[in-house]
Amino acid sequence: MGHFAADCRRCKETHINYMDFQDPEMNGIPGPTIQPQANVAQLKAQLDALNEQENDALIGLMGGGQSQDFIKA
């Protein structure tokens, strides 16, 4: 009869979880230096500045012209 690998009597050696492993050599690595080009407030200002034609074009590019799953109430 079969069994789960976690219940295997032959494989009772310890297993290492590398996701929780803290390597001391990694402490000296600097953090990222790349700054985002635009933040949310800048994006909102750009969207608010669109004229009606540009707004409709953006909606079309984002899939707004496709049929939706939900009907309007």
Q: What is the pLDDT of residue 11?
A: 63
Q: Quick check: is 50 in a domain? A: yes
**Residue 60 structural domain:** 37-65
The span from the CA of 49 to the CA of 37, in Å, is 18
Q: What is the pLDDT of residue 2?
A: 76
Is 1 within 8 Å of 8 (Cβ atoms)? no
pTM: 0.38
Q: Quick check: is 70 in a domain? A: no
Q: Quick check: is 48 in a domain? A: yes
Q: Quick check: is 47 in a domain? A: yes
Q: Quick check: is 6 in a domain? A: no
Q: Quick check: is 49 in a domain? A: yes
Q: Quick check: is 1 in a domain? A: no
- The total domain count for the chain is 1
Q: Quick check: is 57 in a domain? A: yes
The span from the CA of 29 to the CA of 40, in Å, is 29
pLDDT interval class at 1 (50, 70, 90): low
In percent, how much of the chain has pLDDT > 90? 16
The string of pLDDT tens digits covering residues 29-57 is 888 888 777 788 888 999 999 999 999 89
Among 11-15, 43-47, 68-72, the range with the most confident prediction by mean pLDDT is 43-47
